[in-house]
Amino acid sequence: MMRIDKLLANMGYGSRKDVKLLLKQGAVQVDGQPVKDAKRHVKPETEVVTVFGEAVDYKPFVYLMMNKPEGVVSATEDQVETTVLELIDPSYAHYELFPVGRLDKDTTGLLLLTNDGAFNHALMSPRKHVDKVYVAEIDGEMTVDDVRRFAEGVELEDGYTTKPARLEVISRNGRRSMIRLTLSEGKYHQVKRMVAAVGKHVERLERIQIGTLELDPTLERGAYRELTQEEYDALLA
């Protein structure tokens, strides 16, 4: 249960002061009965709350899939750079969303945003080993030996040896290679550092999958949508 003024404020109907004015005006009803007491407790899962006759769609948590564009940072705020949250419609502002993990400024593709800390932990905790899949354009020819080294774990420049990773060479064209890389951990700049460790350079990087969730191919760069219930359930299964 929660106070009706808190519920409506959380759902974007304004500040507590704004909500109290709505209550005073008689604009709010619970199961068809007018409510004017801001301290009234309601069960939004079972009771129907309306404002000016329109039902309040109560959602404590939101889960968005974004096709992150290049040039924006995976942060809630930044004094210099444009953040992914600045691409989200203001109607979501009251949810206080944050990115699930991060993608570098120049990396594109699948990024999740939510206000659910438990969901974030389930996907990003090192103990969970949730796979992340990337495609990358490489300056350099990725070889069979590179595939073997990635499968064994690559020693990075700081001495850390990565967990085994699945490297697939999609195509080669001269000194250019296209690869698909599956990681079960998320160290800082890991893809770029692993590729550098075998003497090549990442030119372009895109994340296309987290766990069971694939990037929706209909989403343009910078676009987003809410996860379906099926997608959410599969991610946490």
**What separation, in Å, do the N-terminal and C-terminal C-alpha atoms of the chain show?**
28
Distance from CA of residue 32 to its chain's centroid?
A: 37
Q: Which of 110, 88, 112 is nearest to 100 (CA)?
A: 112
The distance from CA 159 to its chain's CA centroid, rounded to whole angstroms, is 30
E-assigned strand segments in 56-200: 63-68, 98-100, 108-114, 132-139, 166-173, 176-183
Q: Residue 87 and residue 32: Cα distance in Å, rounded?
A: 37
Q: Is 208 helix (H, G, I), strand (E, B) or coil?
A: strand
E strand or H helix at 144: helix 144-152
Q: Which of 78, 104, 116, 216 is catalytic?
A: 104
Q: What is the Cα–Cα distance from 235 to 112, expressed in whole angstroms?
A: 12
Residue type, 134: Y
Closest C-alpha to 210, from 116, 136, 102, 137: 102
CB 127 within 8 A of CB 75: no
* 104 annotated active-site: yes
Q: Just list the catalytic residues.
A: 104
